[in-house]
Chain A
Amino acid sequence: MPPVIEVEHLTKEYSLGTVTSIKDTVRHILARLSGRKTWHRESFKALDDVSFSIDKGEVVGIIGHNGAGKSTLLKHLANITTPTSGEISVRGSVAPLIEVGAGVNPELTGRENIYLNGAILGIPKKVTHQKIDEIINFAELEQFIDTPVKRYSSGMKVKLGFSIATSMEADILIVDEVLAVGDLAFQRKCFSRIEKMLHQSNKTVLIVSHNVRQITRLCTRTILLDHGKIIADGASQEVCNTYYEQMNNRVLAGVNKEVQSSHAHIRSSGSLILESIEILTANGLTDEIKSGGFLKIKINFTLDRTLKKPEIIIGTHTTDFVYLTSSTTSTMRDKPDLAKGGHEIEFSIPSFPLVPGIYCVRFIVRDELGVSVYMGETLKTFTVTPSSNELSEEDSKLRLINTDALWAVNGAPYQ
């Protein structure tokens, strides 16, 4: 069976600047006709020689930093725009869930909007009619469905848009950042709805998201875009790790520049200057530790004044800022004063329980009164590698923490 989506050497250029006026266009045409040299506006390659193919039933995630070309790519697949060069072939009907609610009209009521958007998305009126109760129900808008949408809260609008968009049936589903809608409860509902759609039907799905966690969970395959080019294309976990590494490299590059990287979040009173952060194992300096292994963080900094009984916090978080560990000196009695000048702090966790992945260090110093002197996140990144008795990749993806456990089956210890 041929692939559902085939993209070959797709390139899309946009001209920078404004659209030329009639005057310029006429001058341009005249110049061309008279054989004189014409001038060009600077162009920007949003997509640069992109090729891939997707088979029926694949669930593919597309990740990349802002401006990497993700949405431009989806626009081409949805036939909204035309490539500058290259070929795209799409077999089957495409349902674009690109920014839900594009067709929602504020003057119409919720119910009227459901019919209108159904028509816009190509759902026959009969089908919309059959599904309308389900759509209203999912959007949790029973009470407001005959009120004009202009009187809805923004959350209600988004819920309505999502419910309509996901109720349609098509061979290929394109999802662009629509999972982050509504309140937390609704987000969970959306997520499980998408998951259900993926598992029940043999649909081909493309998902763009900045939430890499969602991508690894939903997609079997992921494409990583960077500056319009495909950097990696393969199993989600691997590609997402590449993405993390890519981000980390930027972070690291920033750390080396005296910690003042754009990725590190630093708020400092100026009294504390961070000199270095090092990760150590028993064997010395490293960037890698084993899951469940020994982790030592050594921080060097200089103070331009004396801090009396400061509180020091050192913690770790994921690259997308899920705080994992946090250790503080606040509960200790007899906290030492830190004099003006250089200091070195060593911090160890005997057994770092996190699953393989990439983590960051955060470091906070507060003075006696609890006023923050220094606060920095993503100051240093390190990789946790699988330990020898590590579970398969597949299993480790479903958890964050690696703990020892004791089992008993029918009262008998189970080993």
Chain B
Amino acid sequence: MSISTPNLFAYRELIAALAWKNIVVRYKQAYLGLLWAVIKPLMLMLIFTLVKSFVGIETGDIPYPILTFAALMPWIFFQESASEGVNSITANTALIKKIYFPREVFPLTAMVTKLVELAIGFLILAGLMVYYQMLPTVQALWVPLIIFYTMLVALTISLFGSALNVYYRDVAQALPVLLSLAMYASPVIYPLSLVKTKLIDEQAAGEWSNTLYTIYNINPLAGIIDSFQKCLLQGLQPDFNSILPGLIATLALLPLSYLYFKKAEKWFADII
């Protein structure tokens, strides 16, 4: 069975129009409009800050609220791109059954929509940076690349997940549960430096410590969140040791995920 990769660039207008539709429809009758997009990370930031004052999490010289907000931005972008992406095919049944265009347009659109919300998050982050009197350095130039990498990770999940969800709606049910668990396995509430100190410096798990640290970093979000914080808040360059395991995993799985999607795509209209 041959798999043709369409020129997605030709569909940029469609993706833009569908993403614009998603945003307009979501916030049309809401008085606060797009502000709702940043309320979730802000609330979580406040809750985490509150929790942190009880349990004590070592965060170095960065104030905890901004550190966790900088973690929540890529995390929420990833989480929502993936979960909306997985739902994107079944949510567009009417279009799938009537008109042809490459079906990957839907997961991509879900991601572009979230990109707009991420952009608003940056405004809030800028406000927090002004408040804490932090200046971005030249290392902030890494940020677009980090976000692009996050998009690849989200696509790996949403392409495979959305295609499988056409056959088994269990996927869309299971994913939110898995993702909320994954948040605790990612350095969102706590910084990656804490994990590193425990495992590498203190060898907390004995001879397994280094291996465990690598396994922890197979989760691409570990490297992403850590690099995002480093580049924006600390003026450091990304820690490639923490990025590498996740990057390898992503680059290995993304082609498989896309291949499965393109194979399953042919039957969407019949099965959905």
A residues adjacent to B (C-beta < 8 A): 14, 19, 21-22, 75, 78-82, 94, 96, 98-99, 102-103, 105, 107-108, 112, 115-116, 118-122, 124-125, 148
Contact A103 B269 (CB under 8 A): no
Contact A81 B170 (CB under 8 A): no
For A19, the chain B residues whose CB sits under 8 A away are 167, 271
A75 to B96, CA, bound (A): 11
Given contacts A14-B270, A122-B14, contact A102 B94 (CB under 8 A): yes
Given contacts A78-B100, A96-B100, contact A120 B270 (CB under 8 A): no
B205 proximal to A (CB < 8 A) = no
Given contacts A80-B269, A102-B94, A108-B25, contact A116 B101 (CB under 8 A): no
A62 to B56, CA, bound (A): 73
Contact A119 B269 (CB under 8 A): no
Given contacts A19-B167, A22-B168, A108-B24, contact A82 B95 (CB under 8 A): no
**Chain B, residue nearest A83 (CB):** B266
A21 to B271, CA, bound (A): 13
B181 proximal to A (CB < 8 A) = no
For A112, the chain B residues whose CB sits under 8 A away are 21, 24
Number of interface residues of B (CB under 8 A): 27
**Chain B, residue nearest A121 (CB):** B99
For A116, the chain B residues whose CB sits under 8 A away are 17-18, 20-21
Contact A103 B266 (CB under 8 A): no
A94 to B17, CA, bound (A): 20
CB distance from A176 to the nearest CB of B (A): 9
CB distance from B196 to the nearest CB of A (A): 39
For A82, the chain B residues whose CB sits under 8 A away are 266-267
B198 proximal to A (CB < 8 A) = no
For B270, the chain A residues whose CB sits under 8 A away are 14, 81
7 A–B contacts from the bound complex (CB under 8 Å):
A14-B270, A75-B269, A78-B99, A98-B98, A105-B21, A108-B25, A122-B101
Given contacts A19-B167, A96-B100, contact A103 B14 (CB under 8 A): no
Contact with A along B244-262 (1 / 0, CB 8 A): 0000000000000000000
A121 to B18, CA, bound (A): 12
CB distance from A72 to the nearest CB of B (A): 10
* A-contacting residues, B190-238, CB 8 Å: none
For A103, the chain B residues whose CB sits under 8 A away are 94-95, 98-99
Contact A80 B98 (CB under 8 A): yes
Contact A119 B18 (CB under 8 A): yes
B61 proximal to A (CB < 8 A) = no
B97 proximal to A (CB < 8 A) = yes
Contact with A along B1-33 (1 / 0, CB 8 A): 000000000000110111011001100110000
Contact A119 B97 (CB under 8 A): no
A21 to B167, CA, bound (A): 9
A21 to B168, CA, bound (A): 7
Residue among A14, A21, A102, A118 with the most chain B CB within 10 A? Answer: A102
A54 to B24, CA, bound (A): 42
Contact A120 B266 (CB under 8 A): no
For A115, the chain B residues whose CB sits under 8 A away are 17
**Chain A, residue nearest B97 (CB):** A80
**Chain B, residue nearest A112 (CB):** B24
For B28, the chain A residues whose CB sits under 8 A away are 107-108, 148
Given contacts A107-B28, A119-B13, A119-B14, contact A99 B98 (CB under 8 A): yes
Residue among B13, B95, B97, B99 with the most chain A CB within 10 A? Answer: B99
For the complex of A and B, the 4 pairs showing the least CB-CB separation, nearest first, are: A119-B17, A102-B98, A82-B266, A79-B100
A138 to B237, CA, bound (A): 59
A102 to B100, CA, bound (A): 12
A119 to B109, CA, bound (A): 13
CB distance from A73 to the nearest CB of B (A): 14
For A14, the chain B residues whose CB sits under 8 A away are 270
Contact with A along B61-97 (1 / 0, CB 8 A): 0000000000000000000000000000000001111
For B170, the chain A residues whose CB sits under 8 A away are 22
Contact A120 B25 (CB under 8 A): no
For A105, the chain B residues whose CB sits under 8 A away are 21, 25
**Chain A, residue nearest B25 (CB):** A107
For A148, the chain B residues whose CB sits under 8 A away are 28
**Chain A, residue nearest B166 (CB):** A19
CB distance from B14 to the nearest CB of A (A): 5
CB distance from B261 to the nearest CB of A (A): 14
Q: Apart from A80-B98, A125-B17, what 19 extra A-B contacts exist at CB < 8 Å?
A: A14-B270, A78-B99, A79-B100, A80-B96, A99-B98, A102-B94, A102-B95, A102-B98, A103-B98, A105-B25, A107-B29, A108-B28, A112-B24, A115-B17, A116-B17, A116-B21, A120-B95, A122-B101, A148-B28
A108 to B29, CA, bound (A): 11
Given contacts A115-B17, A119-B14, contact A80 B24 (CB under 8 A): no
A103 to B97, CA, bound (A): 11
CB distance from A162 to the nearest CB of B (A): 14
A99 to B97, CA, bound (A): 10
A49 to B142, CA, bound (A): 57
Which of B14, B29, B269, B271 is close to A120, meaning CB atoms less than 8 Å apart?
B14
Given contacts A78-B100, A80-B98, A103-B99, contact A124 B25 (CB under 8 A): no
CB distance from A92 to the nearest CB of B (A): 14
Contact B99 A96 (CB under 8 A): yes
Residue among A80, A112, A118, A122 with the most chain B CB within 10 A? Answer: A80
A126 to B170, CA, bound (A): 42
A340 to B167, CA, bound (A): 65
CB distance from B143 to the nearest CB of A (A): 30
A105 to B16, CA, bound (A): 16
A232 to B108, CA, bound (A): 44
A118 to B21, CA, bound (A): 13
**Chain B, residue nearest A78 (CB):** B100
CB distance from A140 to the nearest CB of B (A): 24
A20 to B29, CA, bound (A): 40
CB distance from B218 to the nearest CB of A (A): 26
A96 to B98, CA, bound (A): 8
A281 to B18, CA, bound (A): 67
For A124, the chain B residues whose CB sits under 8 A away are 13
CB distance from B138 to the nearest CB of A (A): 37
For B14, the chain A residues whose CB sits under 8 A away are 119-120, 122
